[in-house]
Amino acid sequence: LREAWNAEIAQDREGYRLEEQLVLLTVPASFDEVARELTVTAAHRAGLTRVILVEEPLAAFYAWLSRHEESWQEGMSPGQLILVCDVGGGTTDFTIVAVRQGETGLRFDRLAVGDHLMLGGDNMDLAIARQIEVRVLGQPGKLDARRWQQLCHQCRSAKETLLDDPRKPPMDVVVVGSGGKLIAGTLRVSLTSEEVDALILDGFFPTVGLDDAAPAGRRSGLSEWGLPYVSEPAVTRHLAAFWRRHQDLLRKETGRTVLYPDYLLFNGGALAPASVRQRLTAVVQGWFQDQAGPDWRPEELPNPRPELAVALGAAYYGLVRLGEGVRVGAGSPRAYFVQVAAGDQPDDPVQTVSTPSPITGEDSDEAADATAGIPAVCLVPRGAEEGFAGELQQPAFEVLANQPVAFQLFSSTTRLGDEVGDIVALSPDEVTTLPPIRTVLRFGKKDSSRAIPARLAVHLSEIGVLELWCQAQQTPHRWQLQFDVRSRQEGESPHGSVLPSGETLDAVLVEAAQAIIRATFVLEDGVVGIPPEQLIKELVALTELPRERWSAALLRKFTDTLLECEAGRALSPQHEARWFNLLGYSLRPGYGDPLDEWRMKQVWKLFAPGLRFPRQAQGRSEWWVFWRRVGGGLNAGQQQFIHQQLAPLFAGMSDKKRKAGGRAAKQAAPQEMLEIWMALANLERLPVQAKDELGGLLLQKSAKGGWKPQELWALSRLGARIPLYGPVDRVLPPKDVAVWVKTLMTLMARPTPDVAQALVNLARTSGDRARDLRRDELERIATWLQPLPHANRYMELLTHAGVELDQGEQDWIFGESLPLGLRIAST
C-alpha cells in the first residue's frame, strides 16, 4: 500500500510520501491492548510511523457528525444516548455515546464498548451456503474446498441483492463442476428473498427479550475457516447482553432513571439492507416501550454510505486531532489492573508482582477485602484520556532482576470509581484477563538474581496504545514491559495453557527437590551427592508422588534448576543422559507456560554444540527424545535447521535417489533411528514438501520391513489434519494424505489399535474443507476399522468436527502423557 501510494500520489514530491502523512488506522472498538499494539507494530514495520488508531464504530459516528457539524445540537439534549451497532463481514461491535452538557454547550462522550465478537456477514454467507449444500446434496461437507468457496461467494452476492430489494425475483446460485465433469457436475439452485429473510432475520436478528441470555463459548459447527466464531449467532442476543452489562454504568454516568437508547446508528455491510435495520429497530423498541411510552421509537441516524462511513469518519477524526471539527470525548473505555500477591503467601521466584509486606489487615479496608477476589492494583482508571501518565507510589513493589518474571494484567469495562494505586478485589465476572507481560529485567553486570524495589509507571499514548514501565527506585534503571502477544485474550496460549491443577507442594518441599537435582549435577568437594540413575527415585520418594502426577508448575521449577546445572551433564555419559531425560520431561511440550519462550531460547543454544559424549548410544537416544518433547517450542527456522542437519541420514534411503546414484545413508542404531523419526514428526512447522518427503520415505521403508508403533505414530503426525500447535498452512493437502491412507490400509492385513489411531489422526475431520478428506474416503476408513472395539469412537472423530479428545487420545498424539495442568488446544 505504501509503495502504491508513493508511486501514484507522491510521485517523488517532497512531503507527499505516505510515511510522511498522518495515517488513521481503524480498529474494532473491542480490540484489546495486545491487538492495538500488534496493529501499530505492523504499521511501523511497513514504514508508517505517524499513525493514530481510531475505533470503527466511533469513526462511523464521526462520519455522521461530519455531515451534521453545524446542526446536531438543535435536536439533542443532555443525557441522551446513541447506540452504535457495527456488524461487518467478520466482527460485531457495539458502542454507546452520550450527549452531555459542557462548559460551552453540548458535547459527546463515548461511554461503553462491547466485547470482541467473531460474528458478521461471513457467518450469514456460510449459513446460506450450508443450507443450499444440504438441499442439493443431502448433507453438509460434500463440496470440496474450491467449489465451497464458489458457493459462499455466490451466496454473499445473492444475500445482498435479495435483502436489499425483497421484490427481486429468485436468484440462481450456480457452482460449476471441475475436471471432466465441468458441465455435468454443475450445481444450480434458486434462492428466494423469503428464504434469505427467514434465515438471516430469524437466525441472526431474531426478536428476543432484553433478558434473553447469550451463551458463552465457541462454535464448533460453523468453523469452515478455523475461526473462533461465537457459539450464539443471534446479534440481538449479544446486543441485549451488552446493554444489560452496562446498565448500572450508564445510570451513574447519565443520572437517568429511565434508561434507553434515544438514537440508533447502524454501520457495516451486514446492516446495509433496510429489512435488517428495521428488525433491529423493532427489537430495541420492544425492549423499552413499557418505560419510554407506547409511541416511543428510537430514531435512526442516517448513514447513506455505510461502505465508506468508517473511512470518512476516520478522516474527519484526523481533522479533529488538528483542532478542527467536533470532538467526541473518548477516554479509555477500560480500567486496567495488575495482580499482586495477597496475604502471607510464600514468594514465588517467577511471580506476578511481589509485595514486600502483605496486603492485609491494617493497610486499608480495601486491602482487607482483597482476599475476597483477585487482589490487584489499579493502573489506569476508566475514562483516562490519551496522554494519561501515572506512577504507582503505593503499594511498594519488588521485582526480581536477572530472572524471568511475569506480570498479570486485567481490564474491565464496567468498574467505576477506581483510581491509580487503589488496591481492589476483582471479581472474575467483571474483568477480562489480558495476556501476561513477561520479561527478564537485566540489572548490574552479574546475572545473579536479586530483588529490586521498583515502581510501575503507565502511559496511555496519543496513538491509543497502553505502555507500561518498571522504574527502579534506587537507581535510574527503567524497563519497558511488553505484552506476551502470543497468548490469547482469554488467558490461553495458542498451543494450550498451564492450569492450576495437579498436586501443589509446600515451598520447602519444592526447594528440597531442587536441592536433590543440584546434588546430582553439581560437584561438592569433588564428588556428586546423588548418582544420576537414582535421581528420579529420590524425587519420587521426596514428593511422595509418581512423576506422572508432578504438576506443570513443579516441572517448570525443575526445568529452571536443570538449566542452572547445565555444566553438570559433562560429568559422565550417565549424567548427560539423565540431564536431557529429565529436562525434556520437565519442559515438555516446550510451550504452555508464560516463560517457556525464554526457556526455549536457553535450550536452543544446546543444539549446535551437541552432546558432550556423542559416542554413547543411550545419550544419542535421549538427545532425540529431548528434542521431540520440546519441539513445539521451536520456531520454524529452528525446526528447519534440525531437519537440514539430519538430511545426510536420509540420503540414499529413497529408491529414486539410490537408482540415481545417491549417497548411502549414514548409519544410526535402530532405537536412535526411531527416536529421530518421532522427533522429526513433532516438528509441525516444517514446510509441506519436507513432511511429504519424510512420509514417503516412511511408507517406502515400512512396506519392506513392517511397521513399528513409533513409525505409525510418526506417519500420523506428519500427515495430521489437526496440528497440535503448528499453523494450518503447514498441513499436507488432503489428496496426498488420502494416498498415504490407502497405502497403509493396503499394506496392513487387518486393523490394529495402533493402525487405527494413526488413520484417525491422518483423517480426522477438522471442519476446514481445505484440509479434510472426502466423505467417501472417511467412510471407507471407518468401515475398515469396524471390527475394532472402539469403532464408534473412531467414526465420531473421523466424521464430526470439533470433537474433544479424551486424555488418552491427547497423550497418544503427543507421544506420551502431558504434564498435569497442561492441555493442548488443537488448531
Q: What pLDDT digit, counting tens, does each position of 575-633 carry?
A: 999 999 999 999 999 988 878 888 999 999 999 999 999 999 999 999 999 999 999 99
Q: What is the pLDDT of residue 168?
A: 86
Q: In the chain, what is the straight-line distance between the N-terminal and C-terminal CA atoms, in Å?
A: 31
Pairing outcome for strands 299-300 and 263-267: parallel
Considering Cα of 658, then 659, then 662, then 663, what sign does the dihedral take?
positive
Residue 438 lies in a domain: yes
Residue 490 DSSP SS3: coil
CB atoms near residue 31 (< 10 Å): 21
pLDDT band at 386 (very low <50, low <70, confident <90, very high): confident
Instruction: Give the range among 131-140, 149-158, 465-474, 593-602 with minimum mean pLDDT.
Output: 465-474
Cell numbers 518498571 correspond to what residue? 470
> DSSP 3-state assignment of 448?
coil
What does the angle CA 798 – CA 799 – CA 800 come to, to the nearest 5 degrees?
105
Looking at the chain, how many residues does it have? 827
Let me know: does 346 contact 383? Beta carbons within 8 Å. Answer: no
CB 666 within 8 A of CB 648: yes
Residue range 552-568: mean pLDDT, rounded: 93
Helix (H, G, I), strand (E, B) or coil at 404: strand
CA–CA dist 812, 676 (Å, integer): 17
Our CA angle for 490, 491, 493, nearest 5°, is 105
Number of domains in the chain: 1
**pLDDT exceeds 50 at position 225:** no
Determine which of 223-227, 272-276, 731-735 has the lowest per-residue pLDDT on average.
223-227
pLDDT range class, residue 807, cuts 50, 70, 90: confident
pLDDT of residue 461: 77
Count of other CB atoms within 10 angstroms of residue 754 = 18
Select, from the ranges 179-188, 485-494, 784-793, 815-824, the one with the highest average predicted confidence (pLDDT). 784-793
Checking if the pLDDT of 95 tops 90, the result is yes
207 assigned to some structural domain = no
pLDDT value for 693: 95
- What type of residue is 344? D
Phi and psi at 57, nearest 5°, equal -60, -35
Of 202 and 481, the structure prediction assigns the larger pLDDT to: 202
pLDDT digits (tens, 9 = 90+) for 641-662: 999 999 888 875 655 544 444 4
Supply the DSSP symbol for 731: S
Handedness of CA 590, 596, 602, 605 (dihedral sign): positive
Give 424's strand partners: 376
User: Could you give the C-alpha distances from 762 to 47, 416, 744, 781, in angstroms and in order?
Assistant: 43, 52, 11, 11
**What's the domain range around 416?**
335-490
Task: Tell me the C-alpha distance between 522 and 351, whole Å.
Answer: 26
Q: What is the DSSP letter of 544?
A: T
Q: What is the mean pLDDT of residues 247-259?
A: 91
* Alpha carbons 71 and 208: distance in angstroms, whole number: 35
For 62-93, the pLDDT digits (tens) are 999 999 999 998 889 999 999 999 999 888 99
Q: Answer yes or no: is 512 within a domain.
A: no
354 part of a folded domain: yes
pLDDT for position 352: 36
pLDDT digits (tens, 9 = 90+) for 633-646: 999 999 999 999 99
pLDDT tier for residue 523 given thresholds of 50, 70 and 90: confident
Indicate whether 362 belongs to any domain: yes
Task: Give 779's contacts (C-beta < 8 A, 6+ positions apart).
Answer: 799
**Of 783, 752, 744, 782, nearest to 765 (Cα)?**
782
What percent of the chain has a predicted confidence (pLDDT) above 90? 48
* pLDDT digits 0-9 by tens, 445-457: 666 677 888 888 8
Mean pLDDT of 777-793: 93
Q: Say if CB 765 and CB 797 are below 8 A apart.
A: yes
Q: What is the pLDDT of residue 827?
A: 53
pLDDT digits (tens, 9 = 90+) for 398-430: 777 777 777 888 988 888 888 888 889 998 888
d(CA 564, CA 599): 11
- For residue 587, tell me if it sits in a domain: no
Three cell numbers, residue 85:
451497532
Q: What is the mean pLDDT of the chain?
A: 84
Asked if the structure places residue 642 within a domain, the reply is no
Higher-scoring residue by pLDDT: 6, 358: 6
Does residue 496 carry a pLDDT above 70?
Answer: no
pLDDT of residue 179 exceeding 60: no
Q: Is residue 506 part of a domain?
A: no
Region class of 604: left (phi > 0), else alpha (psi between -120 and 50), else beta: alpha
pLDDT reading at 818 higher than 70: no
Give yes or no for a contact between 204 and 279, defined as CB atoms under 8 angstroms apart.
no
